[in-house]
């Protein structure tokens, strides 16, 4: 049963955090150190996948565990629990050769946003 967030409940969420972590046995698709490619998808609905990361390559640095997939949850299509990974990108990978060569960015990305680079 979904939780209805009312204006009275917002302060509680802010104070305690509104985690979407789920405790379900879902096998991870990736491991720390894996090279991944962000899928170049363009859904017509809600997504937490930044456009600037689509089609870019990164390296998995951490597995945060299993969370509700917001792309399906936001449209009442189920939780679709899956792993969320911290993926490191070079600034040059994201923004081209003009970016500083030592700068990096980390994004937390769900399984469905990534493919393994082989």
104 pLDDT higher than 80: yes
Check pLDDT > 80 for residue 82. Answer: yes
Q: What's the rounded Cα separation, in Å, for the pair 26 and 84?
A: 11
- On whether residue 6 sits in a domain, the answer given is no
Q: Flag whether the pTM goes above 0.75.
A: yes
In the structure, what pLDDT confidence band is assigned to residue 11 with cuts at 50, 70 and 90? confident
- 3-state secondary structure at position 101: coil
87 in a domain, yes or no?
Answer: yes
Residue 10 lies in a domain: no
Which residues constitute the domain of residue 100?
20-116
- pLDDT grade for 95, boundaries at 50, 70 and 90: very high
Asked whether residue 76 is domain-assigned, the answer is yes
- Six-digit token string for 19: 């985690």
Mean pLDDT of the chain: 90
Q: How are strands ordered across the β-sheet holding 57-67?
A: 104-110, 82-90, 57-67, 35-38, 114-116
Residue 88 counted as domain residue: yes
Between residues 71 and 112, the one the model is more confident about:
112
CATH of the domain at 33: 2.30.30.50
How many separate domains does the chain show? 1
Residue 8: what pLDDT?
Answer: 79
């Amino acid at each position: 049963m979904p939780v209805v967030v009312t204006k009275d409940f917002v302060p509680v969420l802010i104070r305690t955090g509104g985690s979407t972590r789920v405790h379900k046995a879902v096998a991870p698709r990736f491991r720390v150190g894996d090279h991944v490619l962000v899928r170049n998808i363009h859904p017509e609905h809600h997504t937490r996948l930044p456009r600037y990361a689509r089609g870019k390559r990164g390296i998995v640095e951490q597995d945060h565990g299993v969370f509700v997939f917001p792309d399906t949850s936001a449209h009442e299509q189920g939780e679709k629990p899956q792993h969320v990974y911290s993926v490191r990108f070079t600034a040059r990978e994201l923004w081209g050769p003009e970016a500083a060569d030592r700068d990096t960015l980390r994004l937390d990305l769900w399984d469905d946003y990534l493919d393994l680079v082989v």
